[in-house]
């Protein structure tokens, strides 16, 4: 089944607008009908039960008749959708009716998708595809049906349309929609500014050692592993919302991996390389420079998957270099991957393998498009309306600037990751995978773990984050701690303690459930469950007993690091050591290389 791509839809929209013979498309919003859903059902071999379809039709006709009667009587329909919250939508009866009709049609198409008889994965694909089309057809996306854009056109005497066309042409040259005023930021100038030095580099990453901010530090250093799927400075945006700066100010000696943005010379790099030449090498250098036997290991998103794999490989080699492990919005058990699973099945993975498994790059632009499609109204159509229809310039926003700073991935690494984790979920099964010459058993990692999940995360569902509790420290339920934060995959993590925003939940100690009958620990282990997987209560039970706290979860993490940081020692007077001399100031060269 072909999946609609909102960025491609927007690109087609942009391309059409530059063709004088097609300008009328800008002034006409296509009507919503059921034919796209019918096509999707045919492609997927799915059906809707006749009785369910008849019920949906009758409900639709009844609501449509009621909406028409409201329009004839001059009553303004309610518009419970923030896309139509501006007063221009309600002050114009035709616009209000257009928006209300759209919402009714969207409700009907969504209900059709939900009524489909198909397997869970196919149903999710159909729902996702329908939602993409529904969002694209919003009357807010077209000048003739967007009263806000029309009012702006009148007020500016046409200048808004001229500016909008200029913005659109500029974005077409860049090959992406502008989400932020990119001229307002520069890596190393006003983002990624925490002081430090690059103390090691190889062809895959640079290692940054940050300058201490306290006279004494804990003897166990903190090694931070960001995701390689985007730039590290999501953890070091501006001083007031920098996770790195906060960790330094808490008295930690902080090291951080800055992944290289792959070019064709890295097109043959594998997952094993990221683990051995990346994570394991970073652990080795951090220990050598700090003089500590262990590190407080940290991984964010896929960085957590890489770090956990590396620690399992080292455990298989008889080494336990982690004093603790922090995992933020990380998947180790890929049973529930949320909406991302619509992009991953045998056919799609095999297609990627055919193109990239033997070499090449997965373009960062394609990855960015995938993630934008998860929130098309926020990351695509909102900017089509604002930048092009209204001629506005996007305001400066550090997080969205980072979001547009894409990274490529080596094809072999990307294909291995897709198949062995998302598709086959093999990482959680002890001994099934061999990485860097060693059998991987996550349960062999001997370190207390701090697991964080975001409650509204659409990339790593929080219950999937919680699943790591079952895999790590089997038989030691008290060694793992789970904290649940409000908001999503990024905003939930980047929640500075100084802002006192949002909230988080704790439930300590984590509730314990009785083992399943007939399954001893050894058997559970063989079957790939957390050895004491039956000993840790399900995520729902954890949440039922959890306590909500106002503010940021960062202090909870800081306390965890302090508890595993060892004694206080004098802060290092200079970065590196005799073997690893400073190379250049943070943030280094690698992070400044753009994929586009």
Question: CA–CA separation, 594 vs 175, rounded Å?
Answer: 13
Respond yes or no: is residue 415 known to be catalytic.
Answer: no
Residue 406's beta-bridge partner residues? Answer: 230
Q: What is the DSSP letter of 116?
A: -
Question: CA–CA separation, 265 vs 260, rounded Å?
Answer: 11
Residue 326's beta-bridge partner residues? Answer: 298, 450
Alpha-carbon dihedral angle through residues 108, 110, 116, 122, given to the nearest 10 degrees: 160
Taking phi over 0 as left and psi of -120 to 50 as alpha, with beta for the rest, 251 belongs to: left
Question: CA–CA separation, 256 vs 205, rounded Å?
Answer: 10
The residues near 313 (Cβ < 8 Å, ≥ 6 apart) are 275, 276, 280, 435, 436, 438, 440
Closest alpha carbon to 114 in 105, 103, 128, 127: 127
SS3 category, 362: strand
Residue of 103, 295, 301, 409 marked catalytic:
301
Distance set, CA 526 to CA 88, 147, 371, 425, 531 (Å): 62, 62, 35, 15, 9
Specify the DSSP element, H or E, that contains 465: helix 462-466
Helix ranges (DSSP H) in 73-205? 87-91, 93-114, 120-136, 147-155, 159-174
Closest alpha carbon to 255 in 215, 214, 226: 226
Contact between 81 and 99 under an 8 Å Cβ cutoff? The reply is: yes
* Residue with the two structure tokens 């509790």: 469
Q: What is the DSSP letter of 511?
A: P
Helix ranges (DSSP H) in 293-345? 302-316
Question: CA–CA separation, 522 vs 520, rounded Å?
Answer: 5
**Hey, what are 9's tokens?**
């839809």
Question: CA–CA separation, 189 vs 238, rounded Å?
Answer: 10
Question: CA–CA separation, 125 vs 128, rounded Å?
Answer: 5
Closest alpha carbon to 260 in 237, 231, 281, 282: 231
Give the residue numbers marked as catalytic: 301
């Amino acid at each position: 089944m072909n999946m609609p791509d909102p960025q491609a839809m927007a690109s087609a929209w942009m391309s059409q607008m530059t063709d004088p013979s097609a300008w009328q498309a800008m002034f006409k919003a296509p009507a919503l009908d059921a034919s796209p859903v019918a096509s999707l059902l045919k492609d997927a071999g799915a059906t809707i039960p006749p009785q369910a379809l008849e019920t949906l039709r009758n409900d639709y006709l009844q609501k449509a008749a009621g909406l028409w009667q409201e329009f004839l009587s001059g009553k303004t329909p309610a518009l419970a959708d923030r896309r139509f919250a501006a007063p221009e939508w309600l002050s114009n009866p035709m616009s209000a009716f257009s928006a209300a009709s759209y919402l009714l049609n969207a409700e009907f198409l969504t209900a059709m998708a939900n009524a489909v008889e198909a397997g869970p994965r196919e149903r999710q694909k159909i729902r996702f595809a329908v939602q993409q089309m529904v969002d694209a057809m919003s009357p807010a996306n077209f000048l003739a049906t967007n009263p806000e854009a029309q009012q702006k056109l009148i007020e500016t005497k046409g200048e808004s349309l001229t500016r909008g066309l200029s913005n659109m042409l500029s974005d077409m040259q860049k090959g992406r929609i502008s989400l932020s005023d990119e001229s307002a930021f520069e890596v190393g100038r006003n983002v990624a500014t925490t002081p430090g030095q690059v103390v090691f580099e190889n062809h895959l990453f640079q290692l940054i050692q940050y300058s201490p901010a306290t006279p004494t530090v804990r003897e166990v250093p903190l090694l931070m592993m960001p995701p390689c799927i985007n730039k590290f400075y999501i953890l070091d945006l501006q001083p007031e919302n920098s996770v790195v700066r906060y960790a330094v100010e808490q008295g930690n000696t902080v090291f951080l991996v800055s992944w290289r943005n792959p070019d064709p010379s890295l097109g043959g790099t594998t997952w094993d390389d990221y683990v051995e030449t990346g994570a394991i090498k970073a652990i080795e250098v951090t220990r050598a420079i700090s003089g500590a036997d262990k590190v407080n290991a940290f991984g964010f998103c896929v960085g957590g998957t890489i770090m956990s794999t590396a620690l399992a490989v080292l455990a298989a080699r008889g080494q336990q270099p982690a004093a603790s492990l922090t995992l933020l919005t990380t998947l180790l058990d890929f049973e529930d991957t949320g909406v991302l699973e619509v992009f991953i099945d045998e056919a799609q993975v095999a297609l990627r393998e055919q193109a990239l498994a033997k070499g090449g790059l997965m373009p960062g632009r394609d990855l960015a498009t995938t993630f934008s499609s998860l929130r098309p109204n926020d990351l695509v159509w909102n900017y089509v309306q604002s930048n092009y229809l209204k001629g506005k310039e996007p305001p400066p926003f550090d997080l969205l600037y980072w979001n547009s700073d894409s990274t490529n991935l080596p094809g072999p690494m990307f294909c291995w990751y897709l198949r062995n984790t998302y598709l086959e979920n093999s990482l959680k099964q002890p001994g099934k995978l061999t990485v860097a010459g060693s059998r991987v058993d996550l349960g062999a990692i001997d370190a207390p773990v701090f697991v964080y999940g975001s409650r509204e995360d659409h990339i790593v569902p929080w219950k999937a984050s919680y699943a790591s509790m079952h895999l790590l420290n089997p038989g030691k339920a008290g060694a793992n701690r789970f904290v649940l934060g409000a908001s999503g995959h990024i905003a939930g993590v980047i929640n500075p303690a100084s802002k006192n925003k949002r909230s988080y939940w704790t439930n300590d100690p984590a509730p314990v459930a009785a083992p399943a009958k007939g399954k001893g620990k050894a058997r559970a282990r063989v079957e790939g469950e957390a050895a004491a997987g039956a000993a840790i209560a399900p995520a729902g039970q954890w949440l039922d007993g959890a306590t909500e706290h106002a503010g940021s979860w960062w202090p909870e993490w800081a306390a965890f690091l302090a508890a595993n940081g060892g004694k206080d020692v004098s802060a290092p007077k200079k970065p590196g050591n005799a073997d690893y001399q400073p190379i250049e100031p943070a943030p280094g060269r690698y992070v400044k290389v753009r994929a586009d």
